[in-house]
Amino acid sequence: MCRATPPPNCRYDLKAGNAILAEAKHLPLYEELVAKHKVDYIAGGATQNSIRVAQWIHGGKGFAAYIGAVGKDAYGADLKAAASADGVTTYYDEHADFPTGTCAVLIHDRERSLVANLAAAEHYSKSHFESDATQGVVKGAKVIYSAGFFLTHSHEVMVACGKKAAADNTIYAMNLSAPFLCQFFKTQMHAVLPFADFVFGNETEAAAFAENNGIASTDVEEIAKAIAALPKENTARPRHVVITQGAKATVCASSDGTVTVVATPAIPKESIVDTNGAGDSFVGGFLAMISKGADLKAAIDAGHFAAGHVIQRDGCTFDSSVKYVPAGAPAGGAAATA
């Protein structure tokens, strides 16, 4: 992931707060960023960000594992090293014919715009998923999570994960991830949604889902309730739809009709470095606590803590010396570790 701060009149037709896949017109952007701007390189990827943060919030080593595709190149080696340093075990599908994916993160006035060139990431193979090593990870997982970007190339792997979770009564979670997925990958998204116990998104993604799925309301709570009420494979578990809204309260609608609203702790504007990774970090903190059996309020609190910490830094990074202590834990007591 390369991060830079371009002028506001960016000629690549990018929008603040948006995430898109690179088209041919965007490809010169990557070289331009390196040539004309001070660029920071940060290990990323939406799902990998969440997994790294979940590992941090949970604590200890070896709690979290990540499965995905990279190239057999320097960036792939860097990703593996960065994940390992954060305590995450990686199971990469390595490709010699495709480079490791990159994402240009453009920051202006503390808002980010993402342009992803997926490269190897969109060539994750079903054979890698079906390998003994990967299946061992899936079988042992308490929570299986994927960002929605996987819908563009490997939704059948998401379905397979969902089916496994439903059969074992373990948790499967997914993310809407970007408005374009709600618009152009509806079929794939609706193939996965029946298996989702948790669905994450932000207010922009929720609005895009409503617009493209016949939900007349523009109210975030009503949209979340509508998604929560969609057909579900594993009826032994309710579905929870969690919608973040930046500085506004986070909304969680459950399939039993209840809605949990939790205010987002205020962070002074001058303390915000950039918002890139905020949503990924929220998911990581949330799922770390859900894996411990925490209730929705406690999970949302952890998500807020993680996101609030990350937006005060460059990219999706965190100070590993900072330990998360859930509300109600004894002062100076144990962090959120198993």
Q: List active site positions.
A: 280
CA distance 283 to 53: 8
CA atoms within 13 A on the CB side of 203: 13
Burial of 194 (0-12, 13-18, 19+ CB in 10 A): middle
Show the CA angle centred on residue 128, arms to residues 124 and 134, nearest 5°.
120
Helices (H) and strands (E) in the chain, counts: 12, 13
How far apart CA 298 and CA 306 sit, in angstroms, is 13
Rounded to whole angstroms, what are the CA distances from 28 to 138, 153, 282?
A: 38, 24, 32
Kindly give, in sequence order, each residue whose CB lies less than 8 Å from that of residue 51, ignoring residues fewer than 6 positions away.
64, 65, 66, 83, 88, 145, 284
Maximum CA pair distance of the chain? Answer: 55
Question: What does the alpha-carbon distance between residue 40 and residue 286 come to, in Å, rounded to a whole number?
Answer: 27
Angle between helices 74-85 and 46-58 (to 10 degrees): 20
∠ Cα 265 322 281 (to 5°): 55
Strand order in the sheet with 102-108: 19-21, 111-117, 102-108, 2-4, 40-41
The sign one gets for the Cα dihedral 182, 185, 190, 191 is: negative
